Chain A
Amino acid sequence: MEFTVAMSKQKIQKGINRRSFLRSTAAAGAGLVLSPMVSGQKASGKKVDDINVALLGAGTQGQVLITACLKIPGIRFKAVCDIWTDFNQRRVSRLLDRYGHELNTYEDYQEMLDKEKDLDAAIVATPDFWHADHAVGCLKAGLHVYCEKEMSNTLEGARRIVQAVKEADKLLQIGHQRRSNPRYIHCYEKLISEAKLLGRITTINGQWNRSKAACQDLLWPEKVPIDQATLEKYGFKSMEQFRNWRWYKGLGGGPIVDLGSHQIDIYSWFLDANPKSIMASGGIDYWKEHEWYDNVMAIYEYETKQGTVRAFYQTITTNSSQGYYETFMGDEGTLVISEASGRSSVYREPSVPEWDKWVKLKYLSESAKKEEASKSGAVLDVRETVPVAKYDLPVRMDKPYHQPHLENFFDAIRGKAELACPAEVGYETAVTVLKANEAVEAARKLDFKSEDFKV
């Protein structure tokens, strides 16, 4: 840290200029597009629009986000905060060290915010029940925040975040990263909104089926536990609970919130609507030692301009059949898309005229599989064989899944983009998703009022 101290005076000077620069550019909704030439390069090799970032929560998800950030130019990690000092914290600081990031490590986020005066942004990847405190703390300290979903495990917590964003006038991005994925954006903007290829959407199916093996409780190296006092200080009863917080009431929301929220968020996005009701069935069916439901099936009803839409979502923890995807069904076509790369297809209903025009316009591409099949000379019985014609998406996404969403966040800080998933949107999704657990309990259809989605 000697090096850091020696550099501090110069850095503070530079930092302020840089921070005030970023502040002036990050005005929400600013349409300003900066030419990279404007921000001249300083002697140290740092640009004026470099962004100093702190990571809160250096667990698995935090590491996923860091890995994506390391591919984005101009991001400097300055601090890492995690209560598991001997494992998460150490592992991540070593990794960042290898990439030349000069950073300080913290167990306590308050201490970090008190000491680190040159931060621009924080990435919050802690357990859900900490999101509100962490995001609000960072916003109040003047940082822009990228906060993982679920925004919070309680609506009260999510509301606190939305309020804090307004008061601090800072940016807050919720980690529904599909909102920045060019494949998803293409589907929404080009296929659904513009070309209306699906016709009237009436039905959505989505699922995240995970195998039993992928749902085993997480263990930890016995040599490096967190001591009991520290665990309790941060709201965990045990190391087991710390590692498996997603399964505990009061800490997380179970798989429906964890996995479902990503996909149910897309339902509302693609439909331009929030649901009007939900019913759900679920239970602690298989993993008897858990507190949250391991098996949930939910049906949402939406009222869109075109009419009623019914949307099914399922998350199961005992079988991986067909993995995870979302399917949008309309009277003219069907879109199947998954975040997993390469898994997307568009199908034309039998009565709908050819989509050649859209292929020419590069909205769709001819299915490669179709060509292969015809080349091989296999002729199929047409009675029921090929019910619908298949097309592919012409858009690829080869980056790590989270990279475009983080890029969008940093671009918004630089005034180059609007947030793809600001607090208000994250809140709407939290309202939608958290209700599923309530609906399981209630065993009846629960209605949403439009004011439920507003803070």
Chain B
Amino acid sequence: MTNNKEDTGSSVNGIDRREFLQSTATVGASLVLNPAVFSQTGGGKADDINVALIGLGEQCGRLIEAILGKKTDHQKGIEGIRLKAVCDIFPYRLKYLSRQLQRGYKHDANPYESYEEMLAKEKDLDAAIIVTPDWMHAPMTIACLKAGLHVYCEKEMSNNLEEAGKMVQTAQQTGKLLQIGHQRRSNPRYQVAEKLIREHKLLGKVTNINAQWNRSVEKHKVPLPAEKIWMDKAALSKYGYGSMDELKNWRWYKKYGGGPLGDLGSHQIDVFSWFLGDVKPKSVLASGGNDYYKYEHNENVMAIYDYQTEEGSVRAFYQVLNTTGWGTYGTYYETFMGDVGTLLISESVWGEDNNIGWAFLEHYIKETDNAELKNAVLKRWNDCIRNKLIGGEYEMSKEVSDGSILKIGASIPGRKAFHYHPLLRKLTRSVHQPHLENFFDAIRGKAKLNCPGEVGYETAVAVLKANEAIEEGKKLNFKPEDFNPPKAG
């Protein structure tokens, strides 16, 4: 870091900027930079990051809004990000997106059909964001890392563990950053929830987890675009797809993705391990089927993971449905249950500022004759209230006047037996923005990655095993070494 001063003193051209970012992105660097250090030249700052977007589908739209902001919602973007190149095999989407970036955001991004061509031609890129179907994650990530780029890769890391392992190896070999898109890891609400469980021991001893993502029939597939803009057979097959449906609804095909469990489940099963203190599951048991739609992947899956933490056994149930969209608290959420309390959280929002997140205190704590227990538990809860991590006990009388809360409270059976405390930390920005910010901050040496390749790999191991467990019809055990990516040979 000794040459920092020289860098900032020199005129800022692309190469200096890249060197600068390279020197700061050392993994684990704790350096905090003062933004004032950088002189501005030609509208670009020394720590501006030049980014390529690879894969311009539905998910990419969300990431663009997270990066550049969303005017309709008065959402601010992330400072200092320049989209320099966009890449997609679907010409219509490529044209549409690059025009939108130009008109809406004044970003001149060069369009490419082939990512290899893009990497060959674009010499001023710092980072790539990969939002393609899962099966392309590994080749694209590896090529980008080798081309000297930092990579933000959407989850599931890969639909193939061997490929996922190579991604981790390449990141290690190139010394570039690889962030996997389990964005809850950077969500401040989830970060607080993790602290409530781990540090503040709000739930006591955690014994069970339940989570679900229930999706209704009408939401299970992406509608195809108008036929006149479809890619022809030859163009599709050049990139490995048999039809427009395979391209747009790749998530349902085994070749391209891991199915709904990989798609939706991986976000939530990732949180299981995280909230338990980075404990990996020791076994999985699962049931699933595709008899409703008869697609390649199972539309409905139920999985039971067993964990062994320092405190004891934890059993976790996860369910993903594509035939019903109902859920007690919206359609997707995670519930952590302990012997003194429960924490329920969802990435979802009900209304503008109404993030779904509650802590429930077990009723017996209020009534127990065991004064020592009662005082100890109530002290922990009261500390969290005082520190504004959770709200005070929720009063039922508020329900009638506050419709939004009513909706949540009303659907909980037996709610009178619970003592509710809302989680106070809110996230009203795009749910992807903090995770992307973390990635860019890490490039600038200001942060550590919240979900590096190694962590993404562990989650991929846990999640992909469930599909295997369905096939096998038995409990499959994990060995600790299963979670380590194979070393480069």
Residues of chain A having any CB pair with chain B under 8 Å:
200, 202-203, 205, 209, 211-214, 279-283, 285-286, 295, 297, 299, 301, 307-308, 310, 312, 314, 316, 318-323, 325, 327, 329-331, 333-334, 336, 338, 340, 343, 345, 347, 349-351, 369, 372-374, 376-381, 383-388, 390, 443-445
Contacts and interface: CB of A to CB of B under 8 A. Distances in A.
Contact of A350 (B216, B340, B407, B410): B216
For chain B, give the interface size range: 35 or more
A9 to B, nearest CB: 54
A312 B285 CA distance: 12
13 contacts: A205-B319, A213-B367, A286-B205, A295-B208, A316-B207, A321-B335, A329-B214, A331-B216, A340-B414, A376-B402, A384-B350, A385-B354, A445-B473
B337 A323 contact: no
Contacts of A203: 300, 319, 321, 323-324
B348 interface: yes
Given A299-B287, A338-B413, 4 more contacts: A295-B315, A319-B339, A376-B403, A388-B216
Contacts of A372: 400, 406
B330 interface: yes
Given A312-B319, A319-B208, A329-B214, A281 B285 contact: yes
A349 B219 CA distance: 11
A42 B110 CA distance: 100
Given A316-B337, A321-B337, A443-B474, A385 B328 contact: no
B263 interface: no
A301 B450 CA distance: 38
Nearest to B319: A312
B414 A387 contact: no
A312 B406 contact: no
A128 B217 CA distance: 44
Contacts of B348: 384
A212 B339 contact: yes
Contacts of A331: 216-217, 292, 323-324
Nearest to B313: A285
Given A325-B413, A338-B413, A285 B312 contact: yes
B414 A323 contact: yes
Interface string B163-200: 00000000000000000000000000000000000000
Given A310-B302, A320-B417, A323-B414, A329 B321 contact: yes
Nearest to A338: B413
A376 B287 contact: no
Contacts of B344: 321
Contact of A388 (B286, B325, B341, B349): B325
Contact of A281 (B291, B400, B402, B475): B475
B261 to A, nearest CB: 13
Interface in B331-371: 331, 335, 337-342, 344, 348-352, 354, 360, 362-364, 367-368
Contacts of B340: 212
Interface in B375-409: 400-404, 406-407
